[in-house]
Chain A
Amino acid sequence: MTARPSPTATLNGGPTGRWNVRIGVVTFPGTLDDRDTQRAVRIAGAEAVPLWHRDKDLKQVDAVVLPGGFSYGDYLRAGAISRFSPLMETIIDQAKAGMPVLGICNGFQVLTESHLLPGAMLRNNHLHFICRDQKLRVESTSTAWTADYTAGQEISIPLKNIDGRYVADERTLDLLEAEGRVAFRYLDGNPNGSLRDIAGITNEAGNVVGLMPHPEHAVEPLVGTGRTDGLGFFTSILKKLVNA
């Protein structure tokens, strides 16, 4: 196991991409958290590769993150238009072949619209945009993006959305539970009415993970909530790819 790189070392201008791992970060029109996600990837020690929605080429990345935002203004439905971009066609194919993909917030919505993950996100039950530090329990550490956490670990990372209420039919929810595919659950109060307090899920293979809260906003002690609880997503994938 490689030692976790020091976040401050990279922040102060230390080497990035030292393990030669390339993680793609997709920009759709209206994506907002792309540069934050690139920073989180760099802090973890990998190389962040910007990907443009109109391209089909994945530029030989080892994994892909779909960041948050309001792609295409959330017109029609959140994620509904982005899902049809040329890049997504390639990502869908690659994800099915096992490439690790993480969808955060709007990225999660794109993954459900792409049917890489089941269910859908509806408007929050209180109808407001909500931005807060949200406590979660990591329910599954067997995914590509959560191996660095311990099972049942409680973490706090920012939540910020208006369409964050996870829903699926009972059969799907039962299946997710039975297969251990509920990856994250809300603690200390369900912020939006998500069924069974689900904050994030994974596919059967564990390479595709989607969640509404934002790990990329919790990677440096100085900014955001002051916690680094989200860094584990990025170190998890880095270690998996280095050890692969």
Chain B
Amino acid sequence: MTLDTVKHAAETPDTKLPWAELGLKEDEYARVREILGRRPTGAELAMYSVMWSEHCSYKSSKVHLRQFGEKAPQSDAMLVGIGENAGVVDVGHGYAVTFKVESHNHPSYVEPYQGAATGVGGIVRDIIAMGARPVAVVDPLRMGAADHPDTKRVLPGVVAGIGGYGNCLGLPNIGGELVFDACYQGNPLVNAGAIGVMRHEDIHLAKASGPGNKVILYGARTGGDGIGGASILASETFDDAKPSKRPAVQVGDPFQEKLLIECTLEAFAEKLVVGIQDLGAAGLSCATSELASNGTGGMRVELDDVPLRDSTLTPEEILMSESQERMCAVVEPEKVERFLAICEKWDVTATVVGEVTDGDRLEIFWHGEKIVDLDPRTVAHDGPVYERPYARPSWQDALQADDANKLPRPATSAELREQVIQLVASPNQASKSWVTDQYDRFVQGNTVLAQPEDSGMVRIDEQTGLGVALANDGNGRYSKLDPYAGAQLALAEAYRNVAATGARPLAVSDCLNFGSPEDTDVMWQFAETTRGLADACLTLGTPVTGGNVSLYNQTGEAAIHPTPVVSVLGVIDDVSRRTPIAFAEEGQLLYLLGETREEFGGSAWSQVVHDHLGGLPPRVDLERERLLAEILISASRDGMIDAAHDLSDGGLVQAVAESCLRGGKGARLVVPDGLDGFTFLFSESAGRAVVAVPRSEELRFTDMCGARGLPVTRIGVVDGDAVELQGEFSIELTELRAAYEQTLPGLFG
């Protein structure tokens, strides 16, 4: 077979290429031909097809994502914004923190263990590519119905994969989410987040500059795994009729990644690196085109020099391979020797595969012949942009009219008690220890808070006690009822969770999980979500630093609930001031902050007791959220509260149950004036938290709330061995604990 060189392509304009099989649309292929002024070579087609895929190019979402930049609040904290491998924020004392959440949804459904494992690997490489040492990971998950047989295949594999990979990297897993809902049955969501820490001066960017500088590929050898993962797997809906997609899932080797982390950080420390990019989706195609286009444009690569696991790979396959644990660095010629020595020290394979040139073309050679000659910007940045049509779904009004507030409520105290047990034992509200006990949360010795706390928190400076907190939240049920409000509620909850631990919310990353953008209903949900999130970020003063979009989470006609997972990063000056959720001291007073209304639309109660989804989600009041956060942060800093727990799904009773079980102490509750017991326990009104106040601090605390205008209601006291609602019922902690802790082990072993 003749090698399809650039020259050969120019001479054979009529040769048919498999652009459709590689996922390109007809007009996109025509555009490639127009850009090049000829037909592409096979290798060029491979590059365009993966880089112009939905997963890499954001072609359907770009027009909406622009709002995150256009509406971004002024923030002095932002050091690196959207567009780099991950955003970077200033957290003081010369430290910078980078964080990001990404999806690995499609691979995790096809092959749960490897799909989830390589999701962790990818996000961690994004963090090291910024120059940071990774310090923690988190894992927001959405699965199908808890009792569905396929969930028993997917969830244990996903958890084992996240643990198997993350544990082996020595990164504490400090938080996450696990939500079950039938809408995720064929499309589970596996999102992975990571946090990294560096000094300001150590920030690195994906940029190839300086003609003559060498391009070094290091890490694992390139194999045939994951070829076309981004274009084929992540950019189409699943369809039973098509052949198995298993070969498009990558296989991870966390040991190799651990070596890659250490060797990269050592190279950074010696200032050997001009630019760096990790190899994730779209592999070398992405790394070379992004590095080149972010620099001056010129790069020459000898593909023969790429170390291979399989010598039969074609140049197209080498360019498309998504083999894990690889990085690409740009290094000045006189520093190459030292860079290679560090790689050798860590037993990491490293090879010079090219150099930066003074031209503006990316040229790739194979057996001495030129097989790629293009402007790298056209691959990396000038992909197609779609203004997908969207329209409010015809069913939206009926869904919102199906008011959850009208569902039958418990008629007796016994029924109220029974529903509390039912709620606490439901898979979504039950203890997640079955999952989190499979993750190392202690490694690195800096974990201050981890699940089931409101947010994960790690210390980043031993001298000052400076720390960062991260919370991830998203409620697909709220978003289904009203995607604009749902996105804002997701942000509000994560923001509140960070503040509840005493940290000041600084910045946002998001992972937007949706169905097919070719469906006008889904596109409307996406448009509303981005608009809602951008508006709320502006109001709360927390800029979006980056994120990820996962579309085509849809099997046939059935799309998942719109599921924005929002991460909020916060900073705390001294982690010894952090606030845990545990009610640990008898006699402390329980106060409810915020206002409770009859709000049951999308609630956990409506799902658990009535299997119902309808009505409107809780009302959003972002100014209230901001005030609540200020109170929680002040109270934590000044030692006025000993415990705080945000109120979200499951309402007050879920929060109180968790805080009591965590601290091993009971609580006596009284229904406040103007509320009924049912609403008091189960309403999911936003902008609320419950706090435990030492008696000595009561006046100071309530005065502060009063002075700042935050509604504060005394609702009880930490006491005894039971959760008791006066005049209604009492539940011993042993019974409550059994209900809370036995559900997941019972389902998954």
Interface residues in chain A, defined as those with a beta carbon under 8 Å from any beta carbon in chain B = 11-13, 29-30, 32-33, 35-36, 39-40, 54, 69-70, 72-75, 128-132, 158, 160, 162, 214, 216-217, 219-220, 222-225
Report whether A158 and B459 are in contact in the complex, using a CB–CB cutoff of 8 Å: no
Q: Is B462 an interface residue (CB 8 A)?
A: yes
Report whether A131 and B442 are in contact in the complex, using a CB–CB cutoff of 8 Å: yes
Given the complex of chains A and B, what is the CA–CA distance between A11 and B444 in angstroms? 15
- Residue with the highest number of chain B CB atoms closer than 10 Å, among A11, A73, A217, A222: A222
Report whether A33 and B170 are in contact in the complex, using a CB–CB cutoff of 8 Å: yes
Q: Is B576 an interface residue (CB 8 A)?
A: yes
What are 29 A-B interface contacts by the 8 Å CB criterion?
A29-B346, A30-B258, A30-B259, A32-B169, A32-B170, A32-B443, A33-B170, A33-B445, A35-B445, A36-B445, A70-B254, A70-B255, A73-B254, A73-B255, A73-B256, A129-B160, A129-B167, A130-B438, A131-B439, A131-B440, A132-B437, A158-B442, A160-B442, A160-B443, A222-B459, A222-B575, A223-B446, A223-B459, A224-B442
- Contacts A29-B346, A32-B170, A36-B444 known; A131 to B437 CB distance under 8 Å? yes
- How far does the Cβ of A31 sit from chain B's closest Cβ, in whole Å? 8
Q: Which residues of A contact B440 (CB under 8 A)?
A: 129, 131, 160
Report whether A222 and B445 are in contact in the complex, using a CB–CB cutoff of 8 Å: no
Q: Which residues of A contact B459 (CB under 8 A)?
A: 222-223
Cβ-closest chain B residue relative to A128: B438
Given the complex of chains A and B, what is the CA–CA distance between A67 and B497 in angstroms? 34
Report whether A130 and B168 are in contact in the complex, using a CB–CB cutoff of 8 Å: no
Report whether B445 and A72 are in contact in the complex, using a CB–CB cutoff of 8 Å: no
Report whether B445 and A11 are in contact in the complex, using a CB–CB cutoff of 8 Å: no
Report whether B168 and A73 are in contact in the complex, using a CB–CB cutoff of 8 Å: yes
| Majority-rule SS of A interface residues | loop
Q: A35-B445, A225-B442 are in contact. List 16 more A-B contacts (CB 8 A).
A: A12-B463, A29-B347, A30-B259, A33-B443, A36-B445, A39-B462, A54-B345, A69-B170, A72-B255, A73-B256, A129-B160, A158-B442, A160-B443, A219-B445, A223-B447, A223-B459
Cβ-closest chain A residue relative to B446: A223
Given the complex of chains A and B, what is the CA–CA distance between A218 and B163 in angstroms? 21
- How far does the Cβ of B511 sit from chain A's closest Cβ, in whole Å? 25
- Contacts A160-B442, A222-B459 known; A29 to B447 CB distance under 8 Å? no
Q: Is B204 an interface residue (CB 8 A)?
A: no
Q: How would residues 431 to 467 of chain B score, 1 for a CB under 8 Å from any chain A CB and 0 otherwise?
A: 0000011111111111110000000000100110100
Q: Is B716 an interface residue (CB 8 A)?
A: no
Report whether A30 and B168 are in contact in the complex, using a CB–CB cutoff of 8 Å: yes
Given the complex of chains A and B, what is the CA–CA distance between A162 and B254 in angstroms? 15
Q: Which residues of B contact A12 (CB under 8 A)?
A: 463
Q: How would residues 255 to 274 of chain B score, 1 for a CB under 8 Å from any chain A CB and 0 otherwise?
A: 11011000000000000000
Q: Which residues of B contact A39 (CB under 8 A)?
A: 445, 462
Cβ-closest chain B residue relative to A159: B442
Query: Which residue of the partner chain, among B164, B347, B448, contacts A223 with CB atoms under 8 Å?
Result: B448
- Contacts A12-B463, A29-B346 known; A217 to B259 CB distance under 8 Å? no
Q: Is B181 an interface residue (CB 8 A)?
A: no
Cβ-closest chain B residue relative to A71: B255
Given the complex of chains A and B, what is the CA–CA distance between A97 and B274 in angstroms? 49
- How far does the Cβ of A244 sit from chain B's closest Cβ, in whole Å? 28
Cβ-closest chain A residue relative to B574: A222
Q: Which residues of B contact A160 (CB under 8 A)?
A: 167, 440, 442-443
Q: Is B741 an interface residue (CB 8 A)?
A: no
Q: How many pairs of residues, A versus B, come closer than 8 Å at their CB atoms?
A: 91
Q: Which residues of A contact B436 (CB under 8 A)?
A: 131
- Contacts A29-B346, A75-B255 known; A70 to B442 CB distance under 8 Å? no
- How far does the Cβ of B303 sit from chain A's closest Cβ, in whole Å? 29
Q: Which residues of A contact B316 (CB under 8 A)?
A: none
Given the complex of chains A and B, what is the CA–CA distance between A35 and B265 in angstroms? 15
Query: Which residue of the partner chain, among A13, A30, A54, A216, contacts B445 with CB atoms under 8 Å?
Result: A216
How many residues from B make CB contacts under 8 Å with A? Answer: 35
Cβ-closest chain A residue relative to B159: A128
- How far does the Cβ of A101 sit from chain B's closest Cβ, in whole Å? 21
- Contacts A70-B168, A73-B253 known; A214 to B163 CB distance under 8 Å? no
Q: How would residues 395 to 436 of chain B score, 1 for a CB under 8 Å from any chain A CB and 0 otherwise?
A: 000000000000000000000000000000000000000001
Report whether B448 and A222 are in contact in the complex, using a CB–CB cutoff of 8 Å: yes
Q: Which residues of B contact A130 (CB under 8 A)?
A: 437-438
Given the complex of chains A and B, what is the CA–CA distance between A29 and B266 in angstroms? 14
Given the complex of chains A and B, what is the CA–CA distance between A29 and B262 in angstroms? 9
Report whether A217 and B442 are in contact in the complex, using a CB–CB cutoff of 8 Å: yes
Report whether B255 and A29 are in contact in the complex, using a CB–CB cutoff of 8 Å: yes
Given the complex of chains A and B, what is the CA–CA distance between A130 and B435 in angstroms? 10
Q: Which residues of A contact B444 (CB under 8 A)?
A: 35-36
Q: Which residues of A contact B259 (CB under 8 A)?
A: 29-30
Q: Which residues of B contact A74 (CB under 8 A)?
A: 168, 255
Q: Which residues of B contact A128 (CB under 8 A)?
A: 160, 437-438
Report whether A220 and B168 are in contact in the complex, using a CB–CB cutoff of 8 Å: no
Cβ-closest chain B residue relative to A52: B345
Given the complex of chains A and B, what is the CA–CA distance between A130 and B445 in angstroms? 17
Q: Which residues of B contact A219 (CB under 8 A)?
A: 445
- How far does the Cβ of B378 sit from chain A's closest Cβ, in whole Å? 40
- How far does the Cβ of A56 sit from chain B's closest Cβ, in whole Å? 16
Cβ-closest chain A residue relative to B749: A126
- How far does the Cβ of A114 sit from chain B's closest Cβ, in whole Å? 20
- Residue with the highest number of chain B CB atoms closer than 10 Å, among A13, A162, A223: A223
Report whether B258 and A131 are in contact in the complex, using a CB–CB cutoff of 8 Å: no
Q: Which residues of B contact A73 (CB under 8 A)?
A: 168, 253-256
- How far does the Cβ of A115 sit from chain B's closest Cβ, in whole Å? 24
Report whether A224 and B254 are in contact in the complex, using a CB–CB cutoff of 8 Å: no
Q: Which residues of A contact B446 (CB under 8 A)?
A: 223
- How far does the Cβ of B518 sit from chain A's closest Cβ, in whole Å? 40
Q: Which residues of B contact A131 (CB under 8 A)?
A: 436-442
Cβ-closest chain B residue relative to A32: B170
Given the complex of chains A and B, what is the CA–CA distance between A13 and B461 in angstroms? 12
Q: Which residues of A contact B445 (CB under 8 A)?
A: 33, 35-36, 39-40, 216-217, 219-220, 223-224
Given the complex of chains A and B, what is the CA–CA distance between A132 and B435 in angstroms? 12
Q: Which residues of A contact B254 (CB under 8 A)?
A: 70, 73
Q: Which residues of B contact A162 (CB under 8 A)?
A: 167
Report whether B576 and A222 are in contact in the complex, using a CB–CB cutoff of 8 Å: yes
Given the complex of chains A and B, what is the CA–CA distance between A86 and B576 in angstroms? 42
Given the complex of chains A and B, what is the CA–CA distance between A217 and B347 in angstroms? 28
- How far does the Cβ of A140 sit from chain B's closest Cβ, in whole Å? 25
- How far does the Cβ of A162 sit from chain B's closest Cβ, in whole Å? 8
Cβ-closest chain A residue relative to B458: A223
Cβ-closest chain A residue relative to B444: A36
Q: Which residues of B contact A40 (CB under 8 A)?
A: 445
Given the complex of chains A and B, what is the CA–CA distance between A217 and B444 in angstroms? 8
Q: Which residues of B contact A54 (CB under 8 A)?
A: 345
Report whether B447 and A129 are in contact in the complex, using a CB–CB cutoff of 8 Å: no
- How far does the Cβ of A123 sit from chain B's closest Cβ, in whole Å? 12
- Residue with the highest number of chain A CB atoms closer than 10 Å, among B164, B441, B442, B465: B442
Given the complex of chains A and B, what is the CA–CA distance between A73 and B459 in angstroms? 27
Q: How would residues 135 to 151 of chain B score, 1 for a CB under 8 Å from any chain A CB and 0 otherwise?
A: 00000000000000000
- Residue with the highest number of chain B CB atoms closer than 10 Å, among A12, A29, A36, A220: A29
Report whether A36 and B438 are in contact in the complex, using a CB–CB cutoff of 8 Å: no
Given the complex of chains A and B, what is the CA–CA distance between A75 and B255 in angstroms? 9
- How far does the Cβ of A93 sit from chain B's closest Cβ, in whole Å? 25
- How far does the Cβ of B152 sit from chain A's closest Cβ, in whole Å? 15
> What 8 A-B pairs are tightest by C-beta distance, nearest first?
A73-B255, A32-B170, A36-B445, A217-B442, A158-B442, A70-B168, A129-B438, A160-B440
